[in-house]
């Protein structure tokens, strides 16, 4: 949730190791802050070791004369001087029944609660200071066993690193710093003792200056005295000395520096909206509509399913809020569209960050033609042999994003077609594609040309080449699964109705069974007849079938009747038998799985559900877990062989400079590894159970079953709501079509129906499902009259339920 | 250089901290290896502390009965038990004249030399083992002050991390591991003592199992005895015990595991060519031409300007090589094309890896429309206000690569043109661009459509829209700078000659002075007349001028006469005065600076040299220092305003999912920060000095001066060589046109003339400029009869000289 208050400057103190002087230097900072007549807060969330040496007591004891030190506190205290996770276990083993190990979520919530409570006391007139001291080194495990860097990460407090002044301390200080950066932490200062023998500070000062980090070498503490009083006196004298204003080797200057960092951060956040409005040209945004600073979503950091956004431009000034509700200037915002459908594992996943670093450190980027490296090779093999290409693909071609991946797919399919038919010159240029109305394949001109030009999403050089069927679609209306037929198809059915109830979702997606229904026959005839007419007309020679299987995303989250897509493939290929053949027939079939693939809809690939495999498929978005751009186009051997020749110029002459960049490939491999783990998780089993019940057991392959992370009863209730026209869900996706009289693409009904989602709840006592339990709002996107929501593949069920509540309340609003 | 021998398994031992038992556990490993009747080598490159405690002596003493321990050795030894960089300085301060602090390069060379020497002794029959022990923690500075992780990185030896079993040791072990990964190191095993009280191994075991790393908890050593003999006996007994086969808490199993890792690595490298040939579809490669395993460049890692490649498929088997030249299975290969022109700072730059990690850890990727985050905002501001956009641009639009960046640029320019002229419907679709023959703007269809279709680089949907001038070009022939005019232009000059000597390179690129020459007039008339004819013909309405300023890269490294490009811009804009106006006139001008920008040619941008700024420019490749894909299209305010309207659909409807991804932006910011540093470096000053002499001082702006990292006398000599038709250089680029009777695009003359560059020299005593002093070959690319070479912006001058030598010798070959 990231806590940031104007009048309370908070820093979290991490140690490069245990026993490096963390408490001592924090006590010195507290004292120096107090000496500047600041109100100071000190929190040590977890403390281990004998009570008589307790850090909070020590800090209190030496805070200085007249210090306004408020509630120095430990939240969890254990006697054993061992790592907190071990201390907690030992306490339980020793029979201390009052000890309960909090979950990471509960732990962060209690720290956040304490900080928010303290913020109540923070003086308005004079900014207060707060120091949150951690235990041990940066990666020491906290109570649950999660290491501190990861456990505290949702709070994203700016940090101070206490370096190690002993032998080996250069190494441990730099490594600890790197671990902090790997989690994205802001490191405002490094403090360490000025050890005259090892002189680590002499080394670390320029090292970190080059990296823009402020290092201060502090006068070391006096040796411990045996006599208590004498010891107290010496220590008191030491603190008085290091906290003294203007003293070399003291910390008063550090406190000023930390204040300056805080002010700079506030000023930067404050200036970002204006500067962005002045310099950035956003994608898909009409800037005329977004001119106010409050319209700019300032994302300070992100974690799991949440952005942390700056709300300084959005709320009334601090002075007007009542003191019972101190508002953090940063607040969690649920990333309701999974950042344009890219997120699979949430933001800033530490394993993905480490994978990126690992590949960057081993390879950087290395050029790919006629070369190979492990990350690319492993990814290619995984996708071709075990992933979406299993059973039909033979090759992986890398590019940079879904759009370029589709351009590659189109070049492959068109060439395969023109080669087989011996087309030359102008005949090659006249090829078109067959697709569905509402398709979207990306923003480069070639990808656009594979989509219809409906006059809205188009540009000067867009020249749509082909024919697009108006497809039947699936939705849930008033609790019933309905296939809506376009008039032209409806007219061919016996009943003539545009809406056909199909009984259940699972029946609707049981394509094999539906293949023998009358509707399949109607589809077959309709498609064949239309194609025949097109051939007669002869405008384009159709050379490839290009579809987004199951769902057309950008076109309005249209869930296409899978039976229609299956029949379309079968008709195009001429004989149903050819679907599973190694070679393509009729025309190559391209599946654009950029949005729908890799479990976005609950299945790794859409092929098992449709019962047919493509000849070419495209994968991106989730592929890298939502971290960096990368796309892979898979192709069958027959497609690959169409480019095989003695002539260099017959090759697929396409390639981006960063083709198969190691960072992207390594992150993709790590993503797929993590997905392999979570697809067997309890959360998945539970979600599947709710949708499938025992259904999957009666021989039905789970890879071809329809289920959702959204609750079936919530979806059912939504579909019956007055405000809702229809609803549909699969996997992580929930699409809600809002009732709107004057509907269509230009509609803003969805945007306005759910506008209250953008509002943040009152900052109150009740904990929410957001990190730190803070009130949160939802960032969501709409497509005309359709609002959609998308989860990550590891969104906690509790958060999904919380979103369902919010959506429900927003619709009733 | 990465050393890898079949019969010598080498591991480098790093410590999570100092005093964690590194030497002790290494000695145990040595003993366990010896107990398996292996020949064992031990090297501690740098040792500090009293000689009587020396690690090599210790290892030797306890290697066990009949151990075949060969030359346990320290290369650099210091008495003071402090960090090596400090020990070395202290020794010098103490007057020890024999102490010389080696450069990082010399340091790595001496370690590599020793390892190669030892490899001579390694038994063929039975693989030997070698342990290279580091000093202190992973980041402890070595002699020069560079931390060990960075200093040893060129050798890229697989590592063993000795973890810390004490309080705080969980943290330091994980942090040290993360620092190793940030440099890409392979971590084959983690060893630490089994401390029964802190039980770190209990935590670390599952933690690292999840990350695929093998952790072994080893029985801790006995307490030190006062009596020497007794201590020896206890220690000997300890080693005998931990090295014992099959012992729990021993290291014999670790040795087996390390052997297995070594075998797996060898087998993996060996299998990679075949697997790649079977699964990967390479960009721009005719697979029919690349079917042998030896054709596949297996890149095991990369560092600075070098790939490390596996040559196991290329050389005769080990048994046939003489024992005087033990060959590493890995060898350095100079990345002569800067990995498709992307590298600016060399591969695997640690600051870029850390920047990537930092952004991944803070944001992951967050969606960009109507949002902002610091990495994107800072990059936009840097490029618009201080970078290539300075003085003319107002906006930055992000996309994923040069090709998509160009599609964005085209959409911008075409829309600006059609809006101004009120074009609607079909008129909008008929717009064309004006460009130069030989242009290349990327591989997506829109970018291709902005280039001529010469029948070679084309595809089914490629539909070239516009007109392309055949441009005059600049080259150095027989020591003279020559502008070659196309026949149509030559015919208009007084002399009528196609080749015009221009005196010097600097005069040729002094566009302002040349504007008043007769040739400028000829260009002006020729262009105007041609445009007039095109207007009459009326096939396309020309709506944008699209050029690669100065050099057309993929088209054959054609150095276009800058005067021609300047005049072209002036003519298109109507009046020379309008060049500097805020608004565009005539038609918008797009500079594709993807290849030529950001110092590739020695200048941040090409505008000062041409004396005109574009209305739209595109930047990629170097932008991210060669790490990950990212592109930015800059636009003037007049272009931006062409999309400003009340209608959403008038917006620039283009956007990739990963638009402005934080990792790319942060890496770009770090790259630009590093470039700011090196552009003032000695190497740059020296290179400039060689080309410009005192020339820059007579008032000529350095941003508009032509210079090169290649030596002028080398370039001169090349241009006079019998084998060479002409040569040209600017900044990091060197292009050599090889004489070829039947020249043209299909020519392979460049490839064959320089083929010996691909061969590796004899493995001998002489040190090369490659890391570790190893023999290296050069990976280079050709474009028909043109071979080109490209340096990074921080390539050491010594390496540039070494390449010049190689190229020279290859040409004489």
Give per-residue pLDDT as tens, B184-231: 999 999 999 999 999 999 999 999 999 999 999 999 999 988 999 999
At residue A232, the pLDDT reads: 94
| Fold of the A387-471+522-677 domain | 3.40.640
- Which tens digit of pLDDT belongs to each residue from B705-749? 899 999 999 999 999 999 999 999 999 999 999 998 665 556 677
Q: Which residue has the higher pLDDT, A53 or A696?
A: A53
Query: Which architecture, in CATH terms, is A8-250?
Result: 3-Layer(aba) Sandwich (3.40)
Question: CA Rg, chain B, in Å?
Answer: 31
Both tokens of residue A791? 């989860």
Q: Output DSSP code: residue A385.
A: I
Closest CA to A13 of A124, A136, A97: A136
- Cβ atoms of residues B40 and B155 within 8 Å: no
Q: Determine the Cα–Cα distance for residues B360 and A351; give it in Å rounded to an integer.
A: 10
At residue A400, the pLDDT reads: 98
At residue B316, the pLDDT reads: 47
Say yes or no for a CB contact (<8 Å) between B364 and A664: no
State the average pLDDT over residues B784-795: 95
| Cross-strand pairs, A551 | A559
Both tokens of residue B92? 């010098």
Place of tokens 């090169």: B708
- Cβ atoms of residues A170 and A215 within 8 Å: no
The whole-angstrom distance between A323's CA and the closest CA on chain B is 30
Which of A459, A641, A751 to substitute to test the interface with B, most B CBs within 10 Å?
A459
At residue A762, the pLDDT reads: 56
Q: Determine the Cα–Cα distance for residues B752 and B414; give it in Å rounded to an integer.
A: 43
Place of tokens 């693409």: A745
Q: Which residue has the higher pLDDT, A83 or A160?
A: A160
Q: Cα separations (Å) of B608 from B389, B402, B514?
A: 11, 22, 15
Tell me whether B356 touches chain A (CB under 8 Å).
yes
- Which tens digit of pLDDT belongs to each residue from B319-374? 444 445 568 999 999 999 999 999 999 999 999 999 999 999 999 999 999 999 99
Closest CA to B548 of B430, B405, B719, B386: B405
| A70-74, A163-167, B525-529: least confident range | A70-74
The number of residues making up chain A comes to 813
Q: What is the dihedral of CA A83, A84, A86, A92, to 10 degrees?
A: 150
ipTM above 0.85, yes or no: yes
| Cross-strand pairs, B728 | B735
Pairing of strands B616-619, B631-635: antiparallel
At residue A754, the pLDDT reads: 87
Q: What percent of chain A has pLDDT over 90?
A: 82
DSSP output for A17-84: STTSSHHHHHHHHHHHHHHTT-EEEEEEEEEES-GGG-HHHHHHHTS-TT-EEEEEEEEEEESSSS-H
| A487-491, A673-677, A697-701, B674-678: least confident range | A697-701
| CATH, range B8-267 | 3.40.50.300
- Which tens digit of pLDDT belongs to each residue from A652-662? 999 999 999 99
pLDDT higher than threshold 50 for residue A319: no
Q: Determine the Cα–Cα distance for residues A366 and B810; give it in Å rounded to an integer.
A: 24
3-state secondary structure A555-581: CCCEEECHHHHHHHHHHHHCCHHHHHC
Dihedral pair phi/psi, residue B395, rounded to 5°: -140, 150
| Cross-strand pairs, B42 | B131
State the average pLDDT over residues A98-103: 90
- Cβ atoms of residues B285 and A651 within 8 Å: yes
pLDDT higher than threshold 80 for residue A747: no
| Cross-strand pairs, B192 | B217
Place of tokens 């235990």: A135
Q: Determine the Cα–Cα distance for residues A576 and B87; give it in Å rounded to an integer.
A: 78
| B43-52, B282-291, B544-553: least confident range | B43-52
Residues 739-778 in B contacting A (C-alpha not used; CB under 8 Å): 746
- Cβ atoms of residues B770 and B346 within 8 Å: no
Residue of B nearest to A359 (CA): B184
pLDDT higher than threshold 60 for residue B553: yes
Size of interface A-B (CB pairs under 8 A): 599
Q: Which residues of B touch A627 (CB under 8 A)?
A: 360, 364-365, 661, 663
Q: Domains of chain B: which residue ranges?
A: 8-267, 350-678, 683-812
| CATH, range B350-678 | 3.40.640.10
Q: Given B81, B285, B380, which is nearest A280 (Cβ)?
A: B380
Give the pLDDT band (50/70/90) at residue B495: very high
Closest CA to B172 of B212, B204, B218: B204
> What does pLDDT average to over chain B?
93
Tell me whether B170 touches chain A (CB under 8 Å).
yes
pLDDT higher than threshold 90 for residue B696: no
H or E, element range at B771 = none
Q: Determine the Cα–Cα distance for residues B218 and B242; give it in Å rounded to an integer.
A: 8
Place of tokens 């030992």: A90
Q: Which residues of A touch B288 (CB under 8 A)?
A: 644-646
- Cβ atoms of residues B341 and B621 within 8 Å: yes
pLDDT higher than threshold 60 for residue A207: yes
State the average pLDDT over residues A441-470: 95
Place of tokens 């120095």: A72
pLDDT higher than threshold 90 for residue B62: yes
Tell me whether A583 touches chain B (CB under 8 Å).
no
3-state secondary structure A623-660: HHCCCCCCEEEEECHHHHHCCCCCCHHHCCCCCCCCCC
Give the pLDDT band (50/70/90) at residue B69: confident
Q: Output DSSP code: residue B481.
A: E
At residue B789, the pLDDT reads: 97
Cβ count near B595 (within 10 Å): 27
Q: Determine the Cα–Cα distance for residues B356 and B372; give it in Å rounded to an integer.
A: 18
Tell me whether A629 touches chain B (CB under 8 Å).
yes
Give the pLDDT band (50/70/90) at residue A2: confident
Helices (H) and strands (E) in chain B, counts: 27, 28
- Cβ atoms of residues A684 and A791 within 8 Å: no
Same fold, B8-267 and B350-678: no
pLDDT higher than threshold 50 for residue A257: yes
pLDDT higher than threshold 50 for residue B444: yes
Q: Determine the Cα–Cα distance for residues A300 and B514; give it in Å rounded to an integer.
A: 51
At residue A321, the pLDDT reads: 44
State the average pLDDT over residues A296-302: 98
pLDDT higher than threshold 50 for residue A748: yes
Give the pLDDT band (50/70/90) at residue B318: very low
3-state secondary structure A544-557: EEEECCCEECCCCC
- Which tens digit of pLDDT belongs to each residue from A573-607? 996 554 455 789 999 999 999 999 999 999 999 99
Q: What percent of chain B has pLDDT over 70?
A: 95
| Fold of the B683-812 domain | 3.90.1150
Q: Determine the Cα–Cα distance for residues B301 and B330; give it in Å rounded to an integer.
A: 10
Give the pLDDT band (50/70/90) at residue B71: confident
At residue B317, the pLDDT reads: 41
Q: Which residues of A touch B86 (CB under 8 A)?
A: 198-199, 203
Helices of type H across B466-606 = 487-490, 505-508, 511-514, 518-537, 562-573
Helix (H, G, I), strand (E, B) or coil at A686: helix
Which of B159, B419, B459 to substitute to test the interface with A, most A CBs within 10 Å?
B459
The number of residues making up chain B comes to 813
pLDDT higher than threshold 90 for residue A702: no
- Which tens digit of pLDDT belongs to each residue from B104-126? 999 999 999 999 999 988 877 78
DSSP output for B439-451: ----SSHHHHHTS
| A326-340, B574-588, B647-661, B746-760: least confident range | B574-588
- Which tens digit of pLDDT belongs to each residue from B392-442? 999 999 999 999 999 999 999 999 999 999 999 899 999 999 999 999 999
Spell out the residues 6+ positions from residue B376 whose beta carbon is closer than 8 angstroms to its own.
Answer: A280, B368, B398, B660, B662, B665
| A347-361, B296-310, B452-466, B545-559: least confident range | B452-466
- Buried b / exposed e along B480-503 (16+ C-beta atoms within 10 A): bbbbbbbeebbeebeeeebebebe
Cβ count near A284 (within 10 Å): 19
Q: Which residues of A touch B364 (CB under 8 A)?
A: 302, 343, 346-349, 352-353, 626-627
Which of B360, B592, B621 to substitute to test the interface with A, most A CBs within 10 Å?
B360
> What does pLDDT average to over chain A?
93
Q: Determine the Cα–Cα distance for residues A613 and A615; give it in Å rounded to an integer.
A: 7
Q: Determine the Cα–Cα distance for residues B297 and B604; give it in Å rounded to an integer.
A: 33
């Amino acid at each position: 949730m990231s806590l940031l208050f104007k009048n309370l400057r908070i820093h979290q103190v991490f140690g490069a190791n245990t026993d490096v002087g963390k408490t001592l230097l924090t006590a010195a900072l507290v004292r120096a802050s107090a000496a500047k007549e600041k109100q100071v807060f000190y929190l040590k969330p977890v403390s281990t070791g004998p009570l008589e040496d307790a850090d909070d007591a020590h800090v209190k004891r030496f805070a200085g004369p007249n210090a306004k030190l408020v509630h120095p506190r430990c939240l969890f205290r254990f006697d054993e001087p061992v790592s907190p996770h071990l201390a907690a276990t030992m306490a339980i083993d020793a029979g201390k029944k009052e000890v309960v190990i909090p979950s990471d979520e509960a732990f962060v919530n209690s720290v956040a609660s304490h900080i928010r409570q303290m913020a109540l006391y923070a003086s308005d007139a004079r900014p207060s200071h707060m120091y949150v001291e951690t235990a041990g080194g940066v990666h020491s495990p906290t109570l649950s066993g999660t290491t501190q860097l990861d456990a505290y990460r949702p709070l994203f407090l700016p940090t101070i690193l206490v370096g190690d002044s002993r032998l080996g301390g250069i190494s441990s200080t730099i490594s600890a710093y790197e671990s902090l950066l790997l989690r994205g932490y802001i490191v405002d200062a490094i403090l360490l003792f000025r050890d005259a023998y090892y002189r680590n500070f002499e080394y670390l000062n320029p090292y970190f200056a080059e990296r823009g980090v402020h290092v201060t070498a502090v006068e070391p503490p006096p040796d411990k005295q045996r006599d208590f009083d004498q010891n107290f006196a010496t220590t008191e004298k030491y603190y008085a000395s290091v906290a003294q204003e203007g003293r070399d080797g003291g910390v008063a200057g550090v406190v000023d520096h930390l204040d300056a960092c805080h002010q700079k951060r506030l000023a930067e956040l404050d200036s970002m909206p204006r500067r962005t409005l002045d310099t950035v040209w956003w994608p898909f945004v009409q800037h005329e509509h977004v001119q106010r600073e409050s319209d700019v979503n300032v994302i300070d950091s992100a974690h799991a399913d949440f952005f942390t956004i700056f709300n300084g431009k959005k709320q009334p000034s601090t002075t007007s809020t009542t003191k019972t509700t101190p508002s953090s200037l940063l607040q969690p915002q649920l990333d309701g569209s999974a950042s344009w459908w890219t997120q699979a594992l949430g933001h800033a996943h530490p394993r993905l960050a480490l994978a990126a670093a690992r590949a960057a450190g081993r390879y950087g980027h290395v050029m790919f033609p006629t070369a190979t490296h492990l990350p690319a090779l492993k990814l290619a093999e995984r996708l071709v042999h075990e992933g979406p290409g299993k059973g039909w693909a033979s090759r992986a071609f890398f590019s940079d994003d879904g759009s370029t991946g589709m351009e590659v797919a189109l070049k492959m399919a068109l060439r395969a077609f023109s080669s087989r038919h011996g087309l030359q010159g102008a005949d090659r240029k006249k090829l078109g594609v067959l697709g569905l109305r509402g398709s979207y394949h990306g923003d480069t001109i070639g990808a656009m040309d594979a989509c219809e030009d409906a006059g809205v999403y188009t540009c000067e050089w867009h020249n749509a080449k082909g024919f697009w069927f108006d497809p039947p679609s699936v939705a849930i209306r008033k609790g019933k699964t309905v296939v809506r037929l376009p008039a032209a198809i409806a007219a061919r059915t016996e009943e003539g109705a545009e809406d056909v109830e199909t009984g259940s979702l699972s029946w609707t997606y049981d394509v094999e069974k539906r293949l023998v229904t009358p509707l399949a026959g109607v589809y077959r005839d309709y498609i064949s007849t239309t194609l025949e007419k097109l051939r007669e007309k002869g405008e384009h020679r159709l050379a490839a079938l290009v579809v987004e299987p199951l769902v057309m995303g950008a076109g309005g989250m249209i869930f296409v009747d899978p039976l229609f897509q299956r029949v379309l493939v079968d008709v195009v290929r001429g004989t149903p038998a050819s679907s599973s053949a190694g070679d393509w027939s009729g025309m190559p079939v391209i599946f654009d799985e950029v949005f729908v693939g890799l479990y976005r809809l609950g299945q790794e690939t859409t092929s098992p559900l449709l019962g047919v495999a493509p000849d070419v498929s495209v994968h991106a978005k989730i592929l890298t877990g939502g971290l960096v751009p990368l796309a892979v186009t898979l192709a069958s051997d027959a497609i690959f062989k169409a480019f095989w020749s003695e002539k260099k110029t017959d090759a697929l002459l396409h390639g981006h400079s960063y083709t198969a960049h190691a960072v992207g490939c390594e992150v993709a491999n790590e993503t797929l590894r993590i997905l392999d783990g979570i697809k067997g998780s309890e959360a998945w089993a539970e979600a599947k159970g709710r949708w499938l019940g025992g259904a999957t057991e009666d021989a039905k392959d789970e890879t071809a079953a329809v289920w959702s992370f959204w609750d079936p009863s919530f979806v059912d209730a939504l579909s019956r709501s007055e405000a809702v026209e229809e609803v549909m869900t699969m996997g992580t996706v929930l699409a809600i079509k809002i009732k709107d009289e004057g509907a269509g693409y230009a509609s803003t009904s969805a945007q306005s129906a759910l506008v209250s989602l953008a509002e943040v709840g009152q900052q109150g006592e009740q904990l929410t499902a957001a990190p730190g339990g803070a009130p949160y709002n939802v960032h969501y996107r709409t497509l005309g009259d359709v609002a959609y929501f998308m989860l990550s593949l590891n969104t906690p069920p509790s958060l999904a339920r919380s979103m369902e509540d919010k959506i429900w309340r927003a619709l009733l609003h």
